[in-house]
Amino acid sequence: MRGGSCPGSPYCKTAEIETTCPGEGMAKLRKKIIAGNWKMNKSQAEAVDLATGVRRELGDLREVDVVLCPPFTVLKAVGEVITDSLIKLGAQNMHWENDGAYTGEISAGMLRDLYCHYVIVGHSERRRLFRETDAVVNRKARAALGANLVPIVCVGESLEEREKGDAQEVVRRQIEGSLAGLAAEFARVIVAYEPVWAIGTGRTATPEQAQEMHALAREVLSAMGGADGGESVRIQYGGSVKPSNARELLLQKDIDGALVGGASLEARSFVEIVQAAV
């Protein structure tokens, strides 16, 4: 398979770290995963240049899973740059149907043809701007898993919801709805907690706020899939992650990586965030 080994769970060979803990036997620790969401940015030449810079610095890195999620128009070009490296290719969205009369859409099978391993579903911008519901996100996650893609399922509250004290209820509802019926697949799912009020605003949840919401997310996942299922899911933080705050965020117990927006558009800043996770 192009671009590295299997695209599956955090327990595949590229995502497994084993350590012996006194009295606990062999414990499997979740491997950090850093994904760059380029959003609607970069021409083909710019994308190739950015991917080349990231590969130069990180192409052989094994301690952290690294994913690049460029626009559809440059998936092939970026995929060619990272071929035979350990960096994986991801997409920013997809439709839940395999084919059909869905003008402007792209299917999971089409992404697999381009050697994608991951796909972002339910990003806050998709929920807010395109009115995607938890039910829609659930259908996309199911389709992604059916095509052997790893869905990065995004959840998070708005500023208004947080100020009203509804943040935990919103995130709980989104997780339960977006991942309904998928407990058996939890080892192949990534969850990204992204406080909407911190995306592209320069504001960032404090490490304590982020950890609190990640712990809640894991509690909900454990209730849905059992303790083992909840512990197997890697949960990323997304919300104005920068080199200056990445390390402190990534040191939190339940934060297993980052979904990086603006800082992923420049190779040096993205590389520094990945290095903070090592």
194 is catalytic: yes
The angle at the Cα of 177, spanning 148 to 169, to the nearest 5 degrees, equals 135
Residues 109, 56 contacting (CB under 8 angstroms): no
User: Longest Cα pair distance anywhere in the chain, in angstroms?
Assistant: 57
Q: How far apart are CA 214 and CA 84, in angstroms?
A: 33
Residues 244, 30 contacting (CB under 8 angstroms): no
Helix, strand or coil for residue 212?
helix
Catalytic residue among 123, 125, 132, 185: 123
Helix, strand or coil for residue 59?
coil
Helix, strand or coil for residue 163?
helix
DSSP string, 178-190: HTTT-GGGGGG-E
In degrees and rounded to multiples of 5, residue 250 shows phi and psi of -75, -10
CB atoms within 10 A of CB 200: 13
Catalytic residue among 132, 194, 214, 231: 194
Number of helices and strands in the chain (H, E): 10, 10
Q: How far apart are CA 78 and CA 114, in angstroms?
A: 10
123 is catalytic: yes
SS3 content of the chain, % helix, strand, coil (to 5): 45, 15, 35
Amino acid at 239: G
Pairing of strands 33-37, 257-260: parallel
List, by residue number, the catalytic residues. 123, 194
